[in-house]
Amino acid sequence: MISPAEMPYRPCVGIMLLNDAGSIWIGRRCKRIVEDPANWQMPQGGIDPDEDPSTAALRELAEETGTDKAHIIGESSLFHHYELPPELLGIALQGRFRGQRQKWFAMRFLGQDADFNIHHPLGGHEAEFDAWRWASAGEVIELITPFKRQVYLAVLDEFRHLTQTSA
C-alpha cells in the first residue's frame, strides 16, 4: 500500500465569489464524508489536464453554482495546499490523493441571487451543494471543515481588500 506521503495532491482551483456588499458565496456539501456542521465551503474543483487555472475556475463556478455571471478580479499569488486527515485518506478525493493543491480566484458576481441554480448546475453536472448563502469572512471560517481552515485563512487574508466596500 502506498503511504500518504507518496500520494499526489489533486490540482484544483478555488473560487471566492463576492457580491457588491463584499459577502462571500458558500455552499453546503450534499455528500458529507463526515457528519459535521462545518460542511460549508466556497466553490472548488479539479483542473483538467492542459487546462488553464482561470478557465477551470470559471468552469467550476458554473458547474457548482449554476451561474456563469461573474468575472475574475483577483488571483492568488501561489498555490495553497491542504492535507486530508488520516481518517479520510483512501476515501475522499476518489481515494487517490493526499489533499489538494489549489489556485484561488476572487470573482465579482454580476447577476441576481435568482441566477444561482445549485440543484441543476450548468453543464449537466451532479449537484455539489444542497443549500447556499452569502456569508461574512468570519462566518466562512467558522463553517469550513477544520482541515481546510488554514487555506481559507490565507485566501481570505490575500483577498481581504476585495471584501471591503465603500458604503
Provide the pLDDT for residue 167: 47
CA distance 20 to 128: 25
Provide the pLDDT for residue 32: 58
Q: What are the residues facing 70 on neighbouring strands? A: 109
Provide the pLDDT for residue 83: 87
What CATH number should be reported for the domain whose range is 13-163?
Answer: 3.90.79.10
Provide the pLDDT for residue 160: 93
pLDDT tens for the 167 residues of the chain, in order: 567 678 888 899 999 999 999 999 999 988 655 555 568 999 999 999 999 999 999 999 999 999 999 999 999 999 999 988 877 766 666 677 878 899 999 999 999 999 999 988 777 778 889 999 999 999 999 999 888 999 999 999 999 999 876 54
- The ranges assigned to domains in the chain are 13-163
Strands (E), 30-163: 40-41, 44-46, 70-75, 80-83, 99-109, 129-135
Provide the pLDDT for residue 97: 80
Provide the pLDDT for residue 81: 92
CB 99 within 8 A of CB 84: yes
Closest by Cα among 4, 92, 15, 83 to 47? 15
Buried b (16+ CB within 10 A) or exposed e, 140-167: beebbbeebeebbeebbebbeebbeeee
pTM of structure: 0.90
